[in-house]
Structure 1
Amino acid sequence: MSKKVVILGGGVGGMSAAQELAERGFDVEVYERLEVLGGKARSIPVPDSASGGRKPLPGEHGFRFFPSFYKHTFDTMKRIPYGTNRRGVYDNLIETTHVMAAREGMTEISFPLYLPERLDDWEMLYRLIVKNEANIPRSEMLFFARKVLQFLTACTERRNTDYDDITWWDFVEADGKSKEYVDFLAVGLTRDLVAMQAEISSSRTVARIYVQLMLGILQPWLHVDSILNGPTSRVWIDPWEAYLTQLGVNFHTGASVDSFEFDASSGRISGVNITQGSETFKVEADYYVSALPVEVMARKVTPQMGQKDPMLATLDQLQTGWMNGILFFLNKNISLNHGHILYVDSPWALTSIFSQSFWEDIDLDEYGNGELEGILSICISDWNTPGVLYGKAARDCSAEEIKEEVWAQITRRLNDTGTIYLEPGDVITWFLSPTIDIQPGEPTKNTEPLLLNTAGSLRYRPEAASQIENLFLASDYVRTNTDLATMESANEAARRAVNGILGREGWMLGLCRLYELEEPLIFKPARAIDRLRFKMGLPQLDYL
């Protein structure tokens, strides 16, 4: 008889764990608080937006970003059947070709994400590198390159201690540097793409992601950055649910976790109390996988569970931040850039993409009122800095004020050099993620915040296999190679949790594959030398 596993949470972590377990013959039950699966990756239909028998407009929590180092996620997607796709859902990813940086009062800067083949791409690189249109002082660019080299030659042990304890801001010595250095190198990329604040984020985490993004650009055979070719649920989550159901996974939506029951005599979880609708009941299993977000799991850990596994008791030391989406549905198709646009000097750290440019097989006439021609999908990564219209942070604004502020920050950077790309008349309607809970007279809440990798936080992040024999963790706060609050880290954490279960069951073969983050081999000898120096208590060598 197969062993039963209860998975708590139906986001990417929970669904990844369900797939790995079901493919290996386990009896899997998934309990999800929402009525739909996918967690932060799900699509959210815009209420009251459909007419004439059409589908509601396709809202999202935020745009999806699939860089080349998402190897765990890609492997999972390739095993999810989708129509005639040879590689399943993975073939629904479309490579972006360019990234654009937009600044107020200055010409936009674009550069290709592949080895240039066309004359205009070489011209872009010439403008960026030779003419230095980013206006970063060359001495500061060399200084930044030196800091990246410093990280690349540091051993893992030093990264996990010294580098984790220093903020990215302090590591790159942003104080006293030019505004351009801060906008592009110290703050811009981390804040705009992964909602990490340079002033508080671990330099270990930020540097690792910087290296991965740069390696993707330098290896043109990789897809540096891809997005899905349709609404996320339609082309990924729904086919995933169908595949898992076919494998025998049972999903229970609208089911919230109330509490764990811990048997102190055996040191095991004896059950989980669930509320679904008006009914409260206890579920029991051989193993339990918690794919709950950190802010939820921290509240569920009982004192007895914390005594059994002290790492569980420190989850409340981990911090969360906000990165949520707003969409503008347009009555015209705008092809400004075939990829992401970073508004590097925008107060609210905005990043956008024109989704319809990648939805070649999606008939937009199926949605809304029949006028839909374009979708401008935007992520707001800074909810604490005052905006330009009302002088208020995003978290202090009404939904209407957020919409007006975002529109102003974007159009001031796109419409400022002679060409008007966006006008108010282009907007059919807009949609702010409902995870931003705005109630009159009350502080705004974010019901689905994002883990922040703050300086010194690694010590509070647990392994996927807890010290409670039958409890495993499959969420982005778990220690992973990916080391960032992303779909990729949730997927990797799920694989580690499943491997923990397989280990308890005595499996020697058939474990989930885990991928390392690749770094240039040329620096491997330097890291070996640094490992010896670290063990001897000596500082890192300076190679420049």
Structure 2
Amino acid sequence: MEQGFDITLYEQNNFLGGKLGAHRDSDKPDPHEHCYHMYLNWYNNFWQFMAEIGAADKFIPSTVIGCRFPGDKQTRPYLTNPGSPATILTNMLNGVASPADQFLSAYSLLDLIGTQSMSGAVLEQTSVSNFFRSRGYSTEGSLTASARTLAEAFASPSYLSSARSYQSLVKYGYRNPTPSLWLLTQNTNDGIFEPWRRHLEARAKELKRRFKIHFQMRVESLHLTDGEVRELTLGEMPEEPTTDRNVDPKPSKTWKVNVPGDLVLAVPPGPLGRLVSPEVAACAPKLETVRELRSEPMISLDAYFKCRIPGLTKSITLLLGSKYNLSLLDISQVWKEWPEGGGTALNVISSNADLIADYPKEVIREIMLKELQRFLDFKLDDVDYDRCHVQTNVGEELFVNQVGSWDSRPKAVCEIPNLFLAGDFCQTFVDVVTVEGAVVSGLLAAEALRRKHKIGAPIDIIQPDSYPAFLPAALAAALRPAAFAAKAVSMADSMMRSNFSRIFPNG
């Protein structure tokens, strides 16, 4: 729009944002996000976007990622500003694992971002698990600690996740580690997407451009003429596909519209693969490889209670030892519009959802609530079942940075000259599937569109800072003797614990 374009946006839901968005069921006031979201310091383009729409002051810093074991009465710190020299000792002594294993877990990340023995291409073909297991200093305890952090960051097991992508996440975070993350004090619809919509409508009026959003309309197919997309088949959606993915809603009617200019597709890998027809693939063969991308299910439970649950904090909290890799955020402490004296409200995520994703929603709710009872002090009678809400993403799973996926990820441009692509799964310098990756991909698509038409000034796209590789490499080399000493301490500690358990099986 700033470069002189009119914009028509087709959105398959009745709300904006897709997986980042928040919706309300028609007969209930509670907003529901698919999962809680963390916003990191190095999301430079995202923060610039927030400042532009007047939403930057809606975030609060969170220095601690918390954790709980079964039976805990209070959330304890798990990681405090990871990557900050000031919190190294705090994180080593958090009591979750032995200090030696905690040191080795942190050291392995330093080793990863400083490694120069493997090229980026080799790291892309190497899993995080294999990288860490190949290091002589690793212990089972340090590998377990690293796997916990990875499951939270990637929603993917360490044996599937790309070491290069994880390297990107860590190196950007370590350059600016304080605070650990930021939390939005509203749901994303009210805090981000409604301000964004109002901002665009105001700018369109100022610039005398046309900006129109059509809700509950999905692109069903692309039609090419002379190698360019010149028609779309649209479908009118009777319900929101993003909010109930256990079913595949069909459009109530379809029709064709002309594409007089350019088309930017910002859809997940699965739907994009379905749009790549033989006609499209004949003109842009590389787009077929999007079907090779793998994704993982993730389940979200909004759990509402009639009372306050004791011992919870404002931090994202990992439930260590949970069967389904549960984590949670107490939104009743974070969202500012929460009524004084209201009951606890949790957004609970299962990042190991394969075991239960195909169950009916009522069954999923009961399974997750009973698992929560192992970690939190509440009775099922305390649950406000009328307000509880389950979302799965079956059918539109979360793309994860799995080993070898880079070459199958599309770029902003393809062989079809008026078709551009955006989404967190697209190739960008960010690499990691994050909110920032999605924002950058959109900016890259906009810049490619601007260059095609040779108008305006280049779009400012900010790359995240990171330390030169030789600095963490030098520090890792200097600390390597300490790492092997820590391994010896860890092995001795494990041996003593094993012998004690064998001699005194009842403690």
TM-score category, normalised to shorter length = 0.7 to 0.9
The answer to whether the 8 Å contact 2:66/2:78 transfers is yes
AA at the equivalent of 1:192 = E
Structure 1: give runs of 5+ residues left out of the alignment.
1-21, 50-55, 81-87, 116-121, 366-370, 385-392, 415-419, 437-445, 528-540
Q: How does 1:71-470 map to 2 (within 5 A)?
A: 71-80=44-53, 88-104=54-70, 108-110=75-77, 113=80, 128-129=91-92, 131=93, 133-136=95-98, 138=100, 141-142=103-104, 145-146=107-108, 148-154=110-116, 158-159=119-120, 161-173=121-133, 180-185=141-146, 187-217=147-177, 220=178, 223-246=179-202, 247=204, 248-263=210-225, 265=226, 267-276=227-236, 277-334=252-309, 336-360=312-336, 362-364=337-339, 372-384=342-354, 393-414=355-376, 420=377, 422-429=378-385, 430-435=387-392, 446-470=394-418
Contact 1:134 1:180 in 2 (8 A): no
Is contact 1:32–1:253 with CA below 8 Å preserved after alignment?
A: yes
SS at match of 1:204: helix
Give TM-score scaled by structure 1 length: 0.75
CA 1:345–1:426 in structure 2 vs 1: closer, same or farther (change >3 Å)?
A: same
Cα distance change, pair 326–469 in 1 and its aligned pair in 2 (3 A): same
Partner deviation per Cα, 1:515-542 (whole Å, 9 max, x = no partner): 2232213626969xxxxxxxxxxxxx99
Question: Is residue 59 from structure 1 mapped to residue 32 from structure 2 by the alignment?
Answer: yes
Distance (Å, rounded) in 2 between the aligned partners of 1:383 and 1:363: 29
Q: Secondary structure at the match of 2:357?
A: helix
- Is this contact kept in 1: 2:17–2:193, CA < 8 A? yes
Deviates more, 1:480-489 or 1:516-525: 516-525
Q: Percent identity?
A: 21
Alpha-carbon distance in 2 for matches of 1:448, 1:431: 22
Gaps in structure 2 of 5+ consecutive residues: 205-209, 237-251, 481-507
Q: What TM-score, normalized to structure 2? A: 0.80
Query: Conserved in 2, the CA contact under 8 Å of 1:97 and 1:338?
Result: no
Secondary structure in 1 aligned to 2:288? helix
User: How far 1:127 moved relative to its partner?
Assistant: 6.0
CA drift of 1:475 comes to 1.1
Instruction: Using the TM superposition, give the Cα deviation of residue 58 of structure 1 relative to its aligned residue in structure 2, in angstroms.
Output: 2.0
Does the aligned pair in 2 maintain the 1:153–1:524 contact within 8 Å? Answer: no
The Cα shift of 1:255 comes to: 0.9
State the distance in 1 between where 2:88 and 2:466 align: 24
CA apart distance, 1:372: 4.0
**Cα deviation, residue 63, structure 1:** 1.1
Q: Distance in 2 between matches of 1:404 and 1:356?
A: 21
Over the aligned positions, Cα root-mean-square deviation in angstroms equals 3.1
CA distance in 1, matches of 2:141, 2:321: 9
Q: CA deviation at 1:425?
A: 3.7
Structure 2 CA distance, aligned partners of 1:525 and 1:383? 35
Is 1:521 equivalent to 2:491 in the alignment? no
Displacement of 1:447 = 3.7
Bigger shift: 59-68 or 424-433? Answer: 424-433
Contact 2:123 2:162 (8 Å CA) reproduced: yes
Q: How many residues were matched structurally? A: 450
Question: Cα gap change, 1:140/1:426 in structure 2, threshold over 3 Å: closer, same or farther?
Answer: closer
> Would the aligned equivalents of 1:325 and 1:379 in 2 still touch at CA under 8 Å?
yes
Counterpart secondary structure, 1:305: helix
Q: Deviations over 1:407-436 (max 9, x none)?
A: 23333234xxxxx4x343432235334445
Find runs of 4+ consecutive structure 1 residues off by over 6 angstroms: 174-177, 524-527
Distance 1:278 1:475, change over 3 A: same
Asked if 1 retains the 8 angstrom alpha-carbon contact of 2:35 and 2:348, the reply is: yes
Alpha-carbon spacing, 1:183–1:109, altered in 2? closer, same or farther (3 Å): farther
Query: Matches of 1:147 and 1:165 in 2, distance apart?
Result: 18
Kindly provide the CA deviation profile for residues 420-468 of structure 1, in whole angstroms up to 9, marking residues without a partner as x. 4x343432235334445xxxxxxxxx14311121101111112111121
